[in-house]
A and B are shown apart, each in its own frame.
Chain A
C-alpha cells in the first residue's frame, strides 16, 4: 500500500454494473513524507468517506478489486483507508 492525497472527484456518466454508485477520486501518490511523487490516478473509494484534501492509503491490481463490497469488481486502484497521521520515527526523534 502507498500514501496518496485526494485531489479531486470523477463523476462517470456511465459505469459497468459492478461499479455503479462507487465513488471515483483523483489521487496524487505521495512519498512517505507526504510529498507528491508520480502521476495522479483514479481510485475507487472502498471506504466511501474520502474527500478532497484527505490523505489516504491505496492499493493496486488484484487487491484493489477486493476492497469493495461486493468484492472482485473491475478496478485496478482503490482506497483502503483514510490516514489520520503518518508517524515517522526519525522525524519524531529529531524534534
Chain B
C-alpha cells in the first residue's frame, strides 16, 4: 500500500460499469515523511475519504477486486484507509 493525500476528484459520466456509483479521488503520492513525491494516482473510494486527508491506497489489482467483490473489475487503485498519524523511528 502507498500513502497519499486527497487533492481532488474526477467527475465522469461515461465509464466502465465498475465506476458507476463510486467516487474517483485524485491523490498525490506521499513519501514516508509526508511530503508529496510529485506523482499522483486516481483511486476509487472505498471508505468515504475527503479533501486533504492522508489515506492508505491499495495499489494492487487482486486486492482491489476483492474489496469491490467483482472478479472482473478493471481497478488497481483503491482508497482503503484514512491515516491519523505516521510515526517514524528516528535513529
> A residues bordering B, Cβ < 8 Å?
1-3, 31-32, 46-47, 49, 57, 59, 61-67, 71, 78, 80-91
Residues of A within 8 A of B61 (CB): 61-63
Q: Least Cβ distance of B59 to chain A in Å?
A: 10
**Of listed B13, B26, B61, residue having the most chain A CB within 10 A:** B26
Chain A residue at minimum C-beta to C-beta distance from B71: A66
A49 and B16 alpha carbons, distance in the complex (Å): 11
Interface membership of chain B positions 54-91, coded 1 if the CB is closer than 8 angstroms to chain A and 0 otherwise: 00000001000000000011111100000000000000
Residue pair A32, B43 in contact (C-beta under 8 Å): no
CA distance A46 to B17 in the complex (A): 10
How far apart are B31's CB and chain A's nearest CB, in angstroms?
17
A82 contacts which chain B residues (CB < 8 A)? 12-15
Instruction: Give the complex CA separation of A33 and B28 in angstroms.
Output: 11
